[in-house]
Copies of this chain bind each other. A is one copy, B any other.
Amino acid sequence: MRLDTDPYLERYAARVQGMSASEIRALFSVASRPEIVSFAGGMPNTASLDLEAVEHVVAQLVREEGATALQYGGGQGRVELRELIVEVMRHEGVPAHADDLVMTVGGQQALELIAKCFVDPGDIVIAEGPTYVGGIGALSSHQADVRQVEMDADGMRVDLLEQLLTDLAAQGREPKFVYTVPNHQNPAGVSMSVERRHRLAELAVSHDLLLLEDNPYGLLDFDGRTWPSLRELVPDRVIYVGTMSKTFAPGVRTGWVAAPAPVRDKLILLREAADLCPASFTQMLVERWLTTQPWQDQVKRFRTVYHERAEVMLRALEDEMPEGVEWTVPAGGFYIWLTVPAGIDTSDLLAKAIQHRVAYVPGRGFYADGTGGQQMRLCFSYPPIDRIREGIVRLGELLHTELELVQAVYGGQIPDARERRPDEPGPQLGG
């Protein structure tokens, strides 16, 4: 996998201020060189998949049901697969019925269809800050006005959400929905506390809110724990998005959305207009994976793989980062969110980082309003484990040098590069 074909990375990069598309392309073309340790692309470690099992499954599929696997299918997705997905959801305690589900091209298509279904230009959608860049992409492509609520180690600051809702109501406005990634969030690497989930569910009822719960990483808690889903707490007010991309493989582009019946029916129509139907071939491959293979063992293996990598990265950060650098401590998922001291801009720093043979995603990609200049996302899931420390050492050296430069130029008068707005009430996550 070459870095320059990583859609996450290109999309993040496109949001980095002050760089043209061709500069970004040139940069990532360089970043794809093997000597560079990349913490940029948010990719699962497909090398840890049992490929022999996949080969067996796929050959058997073509042999036994090839003509069907290669044919068109229904727009909602195969009922056989939807029934199996209900079982997958049950592993996290998320209630669903096969009729509730619409299969999508990864979780991303679910976000796109939901945006198309609900968002007219200028409509407000509330999200976490930072949030998944693909969520911002889908919402922005329908000209949503994305407002972000800051996070801390316990996830979205639901108190600030409540305040925002009050402020909006005073202006006679209300959001179309609230988008959240409650488990091992991309990019923040934190999860929403149980207390806040309950508080958010209460707010949904009291403020007549629709919640969009996006859960790609819920089964990837390092210790196998699960949290109550919002869908469990207030089922009628939640559109839930899931994916096989992180528990099996993104290359099969198999996600789903569970929604109340009227929304589900609309999503099926939009899905048919978008691309007729999910690929029968990959749907049936996933069906066989879930029925004939020990898929939960594979998930456990992924957890171990990611836990080990996270530990290595966290130890290296402790050892190598200069004073003033802060980061989140993930309990699952793929990501660490790192905040550098004032005076350093992570967008500006990226070219130098790549010269130092290490890559990351600048924080601005995860905000709709251009904040995030002091943050970066480090992904530990994809690089080979023995290269993680090497990459962090390089990043640490670079940050040491930069901080010396900042001190030399500004002395004690370091400007705040975080672009915090005057009305922001508290410290940002990692800030």
Binding site for B on A (CB under 8 A): 1, 4-8, 10-11, 14, 21, 41, 43-44, 46-47, 49, 51, 54-55, 58-59, 62-63, 66-75, 78, 104-106, 108-109, 112, 116, 134, 137-138, 140-141, 245, 249-253, 265, 269-270, 272-282, 285
Given A1-B71, A62-B51, do A252 and B279 touch, yes or no (CB 8 Å)? Answer: yes
Q: Are A51 and B63 interface neighbours, CB within 8 A? A: yes
A310 to B152, CA, bound (A): 66
CA distance A269 to B141 in the complex (A): 9
User: Are A66's CB and B43's CB within 8 A?
Assistant: no
**Complexed CA–CA distance, A182 and B5 (Å):** 34
CB-CB < 8 A to A8: which residues of B?
Answer: 72, 276
Knowing A66-B51, A274-B112, the reply to whether A74 touches B6 (Cβ < 8 A) is yes
Which chain B positions have C-beta within 8 A of A274? Answer: 105, 108-109, 112, 138, 141, 274
- 4 more CB-based (< 8 A) A-B contacts, given A58-B62, A134-B273: A54-B62, A137-B273, A279-B279, A281-B282
Min Cβ gap A256→B in Å is 13
Q: Which residues on the B side are within 8 Å of A67 (C-beta)?
A: 1, 46-47, 49, 51
A69 contacts B140, C-beta separation under 8 Å: no
Q: How far is the CA of A269 from the CA of B282 in the complex (A)?
A: 24
Question: Given the known A-B contacts A63-B55, A109-B275, A272-B137, are A251 and B73 also in contact in the complex, defined by CB atoms under 8 Å?
Answer: yes
Flag if B74 contacts A7 (CB, 8 Å). Answer: yes
Contacts of A5 in B (CB 8 A): 73-74, 78
- Knowing A66-B51, A106-B276, A275-B112, the reply to whether A71 touches B43 (Cβ < 8 A) is yes
Identical chains bound together, number: 2
Nearest CB on B from A143, distance (A): 11
B55 in contact with A66 (CB, 8 Å): yes
Q: Is the CB of B249 within 8 A of A10?
A: no
Q: Which of A69, A140, A270, A277: most chain B Cβ within 10 A? A: A277
Closest to A121 in B: B120
Q: Known contacts A54-B66, A62-B55, A281-B282; decide if A275 and B105 are in contact (CB<8 Å).
A: yes
In-complex Cβ contact of A72 among B7, B66, B104 (8 A): B7
Docked CA distance A63–B56 (Å): 10
25 A-B pairs with C-beta separation under 8 A: A1-B67, A5-B74, A6-B74, A7-B73, A10-B272, A21-B265, A44-B71, A47-B67, A49-B70, A51-B66, A55-B66, A58-B59, A71-B249, A72-B245, A72-B251, A104-B275, A106-B275, A106-B276, A108-B274, A109-B275, A137-B273, A141-B269, A141-B270, A141-B273, A251-B279
Task: Report the minimum CB–CB distance from A48 to chain B (whole Å).
Answer: 9
User: Chain B residues near A275 (CB, 8 Å)?
Assistant: 104-106, 108-109, 112, 253
A243 to B116, CA, bound (A): 25
Whole-angstrom CA separation of A75 from B418 in the bound complex: 31
- Residues of the B chain whose Cβ atoms lie less than 8 Å from the Cβ of A273: 108, 112, 134, 137-138, 140-141
- Which of B10, B74, B253 is within 8 Å of A279, CB to CB? B253
A55 close to B59 (CB less than 8 A): yes
A108:B63 contact, CB within 8 angstroms: no
Q: Which residue in chain B gives the minimum CB-CB distance to A47?
A: B67
Which B residues are CB-close (under 8 A) to A140?
A: 273
- Minimum C-beta distance from A305 to chain B (A): 13
Bound CA span A67–B46, Å: 5
Complex CA gap A301/B280 in Å reads: 23
CA–CA, A230 and B6, complex, Å: 34
Check A43–B72 contact: CB distance below 8 A.
Answer: yes
